[in-house]
Amino acid sequence: MTSIALSIFDISIRIEACPVAHPLVQTVFGAHKSQGSGPARLNYRLHWRKNRRDFVLETPTHTATTTRRGEALYWLEKHLTIDIQKQRPDLLFLHAAVVSYRERTLLMSGPSGAGKSSLTWGLLHKGYGYMSDELAPVDPATGHVWPYLRAINLKQPLPAPYAPPSGYLETEHALHIPVHLIPSDCERRPRPVTDVLLIEYAGRHRQPRIDSLRHAEALSRLYPNLLNGLAHAQAGLPALSRVVERSHCYHFETGDLNTSCKLLENQLRDFAVS
């Protein structure tokens, strides 16, 4: 077994991985590796049982088995995400992607299947900085969002010029593109959220459009994607409201990926940060 030390949101994590599981963990979480040698606050063990041909995941509270690599990674990240939320109840954890654009930080939220990861991957080809494609922990006191630099997960390959580079990990669930293969820089420090985009995929044959939203409407659309509201006063609504009120808010109906990226880039040139 190999010990992999991670630091995510200032939480020390250690994953013991066998030779079969090690490349999976390295691909997905390698950008968060740390040099920490002391005791970790969270500990996990992922190993492959050759005689039973299955993975065994041991977490602080559960043990799970599966024969599939993608499912093993899914359960590892699921338990990790829940445990991290318990360790950092001060943060608002949103189901959202985050990218940076010059002085701006864009939080892009929407239901599963809305195309957040695909849009993130497309924007990285336009010079946007990578912060997350799945999880956005926001400090409600400052409005800063922390980077979550896991591998980008695409449900299927995208056509040129957005085809994934060689070297990604393919499982039954997704294409996992490690951070060192992304075509842009990563942001490794928290940044203030300046823009909230509520994403909706209308189909690749539809013309994309962006419309401004009032803060109240943006809050009502964003709140269902808050994962840990019960950790905050009044179920997190006032804290999330403060984040939204500091931001420019939009409804972004996406279509063809290339056209959608160009529209967002053109619109951001006209949106002044106050």
Last residue of a domain, one of 87, 114, 131: 87
pLDDT tens for residues 122-139? 999 999 999 999 999 999
**In contact, 144 and 249? CB cutoff 8 Å:** no
Average pLDDT, the chain: 94
- Asked whether the predicted pLDDT for residue 273 surpasses 50, the reply is no
pTM (whole model) above 0.75: yes
Number of domains in the chain: 2
Domain co-membership, 28 together with 159: no
**In contact, 125 and 137? CB cutoff 8 Å:** no
| Cα gap 67→153, rounded to integer Å | 20
Question: Confidence class of residue 271 from pLDDT cuts 50, 70 and 90?
Answer: low
The more confidently predicted of residues 272 and 83 is 83
| Helix, coil or strand: residue 217 | helix
Tell the burial category of 66 from Cβ atoms under 10 Å away from its Cβ (0-12, 13-18, 19+): middle
Helix or strand run (H / E) with residue 6: strand 2-8
Structural domain boundaries, residue 42 = 2-87
- Per DSSP, 226 falls in state B
End-to-end CA, the chain: 51
Domain co-membership, 96 together with 192: yes
| Cα gap 145→192, rounded to integer Å | 6
Domain co-membership, 53 together with 183: no
**CATH number for the domain that contains residue 176:** 3.40.50
Q: Residue by residue, what is the 3-state secondary structure of 191-208?
A: EECCEEEEEEECCCCCCC
The amino acid occupying position 139 is: D
Last residue of a domain, one of 39, 61, 87: 87
